A and B are shown apart, each in its own frame.
Chain A
Amino acid sequence: MRAPVSPTASERAGIMRCAGGLRIAERTAPYPQNADLAVGPVGDVDLPSAPPMESQRSDGFVWRRHWDRTKRLVIDIVGIAVVEVDDATSIVTFDRSLDPEMEQHLLFDHVLPLVLARDGQLVLHGGVVASGGHGMVLVGRTGAGKSTLTAFAWQQGWTIGGDDGAVVDPTDPPTVEATYPTVRLTPAAAEMIGIDPEGCSPIVGKLRLEAQGSKAFGTAPVQLRSIAIVEPAPAGEPARFESLGAVDAHARLFSATFHADYSRTARLPGVMSNLATIVERTVVGRLSVPRGLEGLRAAEQVLQGLVEQTDAPTRAADAGGRGGVPR
């Protein structure tokens, strides 16, 4: 039976609408033909012989390798699974059966950003938050507190797009949208900020917040005003935003970018140029977020001050109690 041109809700089931309108069908989707990419049957995936691009932890452990080939993208999440995205068939193949939670996590948090980057998008590893139509990206190393701050901002009335990936368009003004609508928290973080686990879905040891009613995710691109590099600080210290110089900002954002290819002849020059444009058209800085609930409150106030500001800050902003950025 052929699906109609405009699928019904049931026919959209299991299909995630991602950044740029990309639709990805999970394995359980009853009508994967309505998606741009779909998970297919488990099957063998040949690893290319060419050197991969590697993602390393700070201790040097290579936790992911990927190959951007002419007709396919191959991703090896080391020790977990190998995934192939076939350009011709638009099928995503996992090399082994996985727990549905794990497969979903790999599909949207690993495959999706690289698919978007491979398509020429500038994708930063970070959360997307917005207030009054003005958006911000929260980047930072794993464990810095991006997701917790994103979720806390959501509770305070911010619109959030997601906490994992941010697709930035270096237009004038630049815009940003989340790779897909998600916020995942550790159970401890959820408890700290008062989120009821009953309203969440378990996902690979974390809790995925469910968008409900007035707390829906923002799916449309928003104007990007600031990029905050989240850095944890000891509890009791003030939350603080300190603008970075152009070179430092570029370097920090480069390290937070999903790179589909790391070669001179391909996308990297464009990535560097686009990052330079973003640095020139936004405010990029370090955001110190003290540990604990009070630290989150102070950091959120600093973020609010940044969004409301119309001019670029010329010195650091402190928020021990109420936030604000000097004009």
Chain B
Amino acid sequence: MEHGTDGASYALPSQVLRSDVDGQMVLLDLASETYFGLDEVGARMVARLTELPFDEVVASLIETFDADPAVVRRDLDDLVERLVSSGLLVRVGG
């Protein structure tokens, strides 16, 4: 599934708490009382997703990682898919 069309933006739901730790990220879902961890790359992706619209996040990550745009978009799509399906991310615009 492709995300980020029509200027989509994302945010953490109100029941999800975030903590940045040593470049990584933990997400605590209070509803399910479950802990999730993101490595440095995932942490950076989620941090930017909560700050910028999807397409701008893609552009930012392409520049940061100097990577193939198609790979970046695919990886970001996959991450968003997993987080949304787990209830850790919600679409808020677009």
Contact = CB atoms under 8 A, between A and B. Distances in A.
Contact of A250 (B15, B23, B26, B30): B26
B63 interface: no
A247 interface: yes
A246 interface: yes
A245 B24 contact: yes
Given A272-B26, A276-B21, A247 B15 contact: no
Given A254-B35, A262-B30, A246 B22 contact: yes
Interface string A205-225: 000000000000000000000
Interface string A257-273: 00000111000110011
A279 B21 contact: yes
Contacts of B35: 251, 254
A87 interface: no
Contact of B17 (A248, A264, A280): A264
A275 interface: yes
B30 A247 contact: no
B86 interface: no
A247 B14 contact: no
B20 A276 contact: yes
Interface in B1-44: 14-15, 17-26, 28, 30, 35, 37-39
Majority SS at the chain A contact face? helix
Contacts of B17: 264, 268-269, 272
Contacts of A250: 19, 21, 26, 37
Contacts of B18: 272
Contacts of B38: 247
Nearest to A255: B35
User: Size band of the B side of the interface?
Assistant: 10 to 19
Interface in B42-84: none
Contact of B21 (A246, A264, A269): A246
A264 B17 CA distance: 7
Contact of A280 (B14, B15, B21): B21
A30 B46 CA distance: 58
Contact of B19 (A245, A248, A264, A275): A275
A26 B64 CA distance: 60
A285 to B, nearest CB: 14
A203 B22 CA distance: 42
Which of A268, A269, A276 is packed against the most chain B CB atoms within 10 Å? A276
Contact of B14 (A264, A276, A279): A264
A247 B39 CA distance: 8
B24 A246 contact: yes
A245 B40 CA distance: 11
B44 to A, nearest CB: 14
A279 B22 CA distance: 8
Top 5 A-B pairs, shortest CB-CB distance? A247-B37, A246-B22, A276-B21, A272-B19, A246-B21
Given A250-B26, A280-B21, 18 more contacts: A246-B23, A246-B24, A247-B25, A247-B26, A247-B38, A248-B37, A250-B21, A250-B37, A263-B30, A268-B17, A269-B17, A272-B17, A272-B18, A272-B19, A272-B26, A272-B28, A273-B19, A279-B21
22 contacts: A246-B23, A247-B24, A247-B26, A247-B38, A248-B37, A250-B26, A251-B35, A251-B37, A254-B28, A262-B30, A264-B30, A268-B28, A272-B17, A272-B18, A272-B19, A272-B26, A272-B28, A273-B19, A276-B20, A276-B21, A279-B21, A280-B22
